[in-house]
């Protein structure tokens, strides 16, 4: 998701874990900022700049790292230090364990939020985001961003219930029903 606001661009990324599918994202990022204005990109790229960022028996391919490095360099991006060095693991036994450094913004533990891709196909979705994003907030740019995202999250939760019903509940119920049928 990319939003232009007050002469800067903010992009939130959640990239595929599949190297071949990441290519389209890298190409899209190359075209998002043709005027070279201030740009904040955050999220989970599911990519590595060097093998030292991933600790497991499965190393990222040289080609995937090179393409990600090219994307970072071509877009003149720098990795902002966060002060956090968190580890993600897939909770597998030691010989199958995958560990990677997560140095993006950590997800709050007190407010689970699930973004449903189908929202983007609803005709009112962009208007909901734009209206919420226009609300002025004073403070440091990262504070403004965090507050706008917090307000957007609440608005999308409410909009989701109003437009679609509670999808989280519906998905949970459907999953339980499916599991019951399979047993």
| Per-residue pLDDT reduced to its tens digit, 92-132 | 444 444 444 444 444 445 556 778 888 899 999 999 999 99
Q: 125-133 and 141-164 are packed helices; what angle lies between their axes, rounded to 10 degrees?
A: 150
Q: Which of 51-55, 98-102, 176-180 has the lowest mean pLDDT?
A: 98-102
Mean pLDDT along residues 77-92: 52
For the chain, give the mean pLDDT: 76
Distance of CA 145 to the CA centre of its chain: 14
3-class DSSP state of 111: coil
Mean pLDDT along residues 10-25: 83
- Highest mean pLDDT (candidates 32-41, 150-159, 162-171): 150-159
Q: Which of 146, 157, 147, 145 is nearest to 113 (CA)?
A: 157
Please, which pLDDT band fits residue 88 given cuts at 50, 70 and 90?
A: very low
Please, which pLDDT band fits residue 55 given cuts at 50, 70 and 90?
A: low
Q: What is the pLDDT of residue 39?
A: 75
Query: Quick check: pTM over 0.75?
Result: no
Mean pLDDT along residues 74-94: 55
CA-to-CA distance for 130 and 127, rounded, in angstroms? 5
Contact assessment for residue 160 and residue 128, using Cβ atoms and an 8 Å cutoff: no
């Amino acid at each position: 998701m990319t939003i232009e606001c007050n002469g800067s661009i903010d992009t939130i990324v959640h990239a595929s874990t599949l190297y071949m599918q990441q290519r389209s994202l890298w190409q899209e990022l190359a075209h998002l900022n043709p005027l070279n204005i201030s740009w904040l990109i955050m999220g989970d790229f599911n990519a590595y700049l060097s093998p030292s960022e991933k600790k497991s028996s499965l190393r990222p391919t040289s080609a995937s790292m090179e393409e990600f490095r090219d994307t970072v360099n071509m877009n003149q991006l720098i990795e902002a230090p966060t002060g956090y060095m968190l580890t993600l693991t897939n909770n597998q036994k030691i010989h199958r364990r995958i560990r990677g450094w997560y140095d993006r913004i950590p997800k709050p533990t007190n407010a689970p939020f699930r973004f449903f891709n189908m929202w983007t196909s609803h005709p009112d979705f962009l208007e909901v985001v734009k209206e919420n994003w226009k609300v002025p907030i004073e403070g440091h740019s990262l504070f403004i961003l965090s507050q706008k995202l917090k307000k957007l999250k609440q608005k999308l939760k409410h909009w989701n219930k109003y437009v679609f019903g509670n999808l989280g509940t519906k998905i949970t119920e459907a999953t339980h029903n499916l599991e019951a049928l399979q047993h």
